Amino acid sequence: MRSFQAVFTTITLGIILSACGGGGAVSESDQLGNAQDTAVSNGSESTTPTTNDTTTDSGQTTPAPVPSAPTSGSHPIVRAETGIYGAANLAAVTVSGTDVLLGWFQPNDHPSGGYDIIIDGVNTKAEHRTVNTTLAIGGLDLSVQHCFVVRARYTQALPTELYDSNSQCTDGPQGENQAPEISGNPADSVAVGDTYAFTPSATDNDNDELTFSVANLPTWAEFDTQTGTLSGTPAAGDEGDYNNITISVSDGAGEANLAAFSIAVTADAATAATGSMSLRWVAPTTRTDGSALNLADIKGYCIYIGTTRDNLEMVVDLTEGDRTDYILDNLELGDYYVAVSVYDQQDVMSNYSNVVMKSVVN
């Protein structure tokens, strides 16, 4: 709850009416007489006017007579007119029980017409008109915010001059908390070796700070409680289904849950789409001219493969003359045509062997 304080301004060449005794009109001579003995305070400075003493022929000083201070009855304390008119400063607006308490100060002349209170842009005029600098206003609906302005009415001016203060408002009502909302469509599968990432969308009408949590987080994944992001890269051995994953968001008072979802981790896509081919052949023992070919004369073999019989491409140069088998890996699934050629120590190459068709499957 905010509080306010009254601010008393400097009294310059004026008179403070006594809190005791009767009231009455204040004459100009009374004002000047009181000014002679009145210390004038202005913030941190204090000045005492010089006394108008008279000197007799004998050299003795005779102080001027000082009239007694006038007294006041029920009249408010006022300052002498300086001719400076202006707005009051509304210092505080505080709700107390069923009332709204206003407090302001006036650094200028006191307005003879007092102050009107403007509530939510409407001048209440005589209903709340006052000559004081504090006021309690009741009868307002405090479930909504209200804003106030104090209007100074200088009726001593011709024509009357009006000055509006700054505006101050009551605190807005604290409504019931609204739970946050969360949405999103997470992917339901990821392959081994691929990265999975999902971030939900979350909003809060109260603009509260949000935090996230998760239930049934996959062992290969991690979770960010500030953004709600679930991410990770499953490895070989993580294949399988991860069910009932639930991401929640909270504003500290309310919570919302994303619909539970599952993530299926499948085998490596490259492995699943490829296979291998096992080849075996018989080493030649003669040349094309009929002469003998010893095994020691064989330097190596070339392996050819293609998707058609007439379009073969060399894929392996096997420089091991005593090898008669080989495995081709990472071939896309399907049918292939394969042939082998042999070359001797002088790099003389033979023609293709017979062409065979082989299938690559998982």
How many CB atoms sit inside 10 A of residue 121's CB?
8
What's residue 78's pLDDT? 53
What's residue 72's pLDDT? 38
As a whole-number percent, the residues of the chain with pLDDT over 90 amount to 64
What is the third-level CATH fold of 181-270? Immunoglobulin-like (2.60.40)
Stretch 47-65: mean pLDDT, rounded? Answer: 41
Confidence tier at 177 by pLDDT (50, 70, 90) = confident
Least confident of 117-121, 222-226, 266-270: 266-270
What's residue 83's pLDDT? 81
Q: Distances in Å between the alpha carbon of 321 and those of 338, 348, 352?
A: 19, 13, 16
Residue 198 to residue 286: CA distance in whole angstroms? 66
What's residue 270's pLDDT? 60
Each residue's pLDDT tens digit, 2-22: 333 333 333 333 323 333 333
| HEC string for the chain | CCCCCCCCCCCCCCCCCECCCCCCCCCHHHHHHHHHHCCEEECCEEECCCCCCEECCCCCEECCCCCCCCECCCCCCCCCCCCCCCCCEEEEEEEECCEEEEEEECCCCCCCCCEEEEECCEECHHHCCECCCEEEECCCCCCCCCEEEEEEEECCCCCCEEEECCCEECCCCCCCCCCCEEECCCCCEEECCCCEEECCEEECCCCCCCEEEEECCCCCEEECCCCCCEEECCCCCCCEEEEEEEEEEECCCCEEECCCEEEEEECCHHHHCEEEEEEECCCCCECCCCCECCHHHEEEEEEEEEEECCEEEEEEEECCCCCCEEEEEEEECEEEEEEEEEEECCCCECCCCCCEEEEECC
Each residue's pLDDT tens digit, 329-351: 888 889 999 999 999 999 999 99
Residue 193: which region, alpha, beta or left (left: phi > 0; alpha: psi -120 to 50)?
left
Q: Distances in Å between the alpha carbon of 119 and those of 91, 138, 149, 244?
A: 16, 12, 7, 56
pLDDT at 213 exceeding the cut of 80: yes
What's residue 80's pLDDT? 63
| CB within 8 Å of 278: residues ≥ 6 apart | 325, 327
Each residue's pLDDT tens digit, 301-332: 999 999 999 999 989 999 999 999 999 988 88
What's residue 196's pLDDT? 98
89-169 against 181-270: fold identical: yes
pLDDT at 32 exceeding the cut of 50: no
Each residue's pLDDT tens digit, 231-266: 999 999 999 999 999 999 999 989 999 999 999 999
What is the third-level CATH fold of 273-360? Immunoglobulin-like (2.60.40)
Each residue's pLDDT tens digit, 87-112: 999 999 999 888 999 999 999 999 99
What's residue 60's pLDDT? 46
Domain ranges in the chain are: 1-80, 89-169, 181-270, 273-360
Residue 170 to residue 106: CA distance in whole angstroms? 21
Each residue's pLDDT tens digit, 95-154: 988 899 999 999 999 999 999 999 999 999 989 999 999 999 999 998 889 999 999 999
Phi, psi of 350 (to 5 degrees): -85, 175
Among 278, 273, 266, 272, which Cα is nearest to 235's? 266
What is the third-level CATH fold of 89-169? Immunoglobulin-like (2.60.40)
What's residue 48's pLDDT? 32
pLDDT at 62 exceeding the cut of 70: no
Q: Distances in Å between the alpha carbon of 191 and those of 239, 247, 269, 270, 359?
A: 8, 22, 6, 10, 25
Q: Distances in Å between the alpha carbon of 229 and those of 105, 211, 249?
A: 56, 11, 12
HSE on the CB side for 84, CA within 13 Å? Answer: 9
Mean of pLDDT over the chain: 80
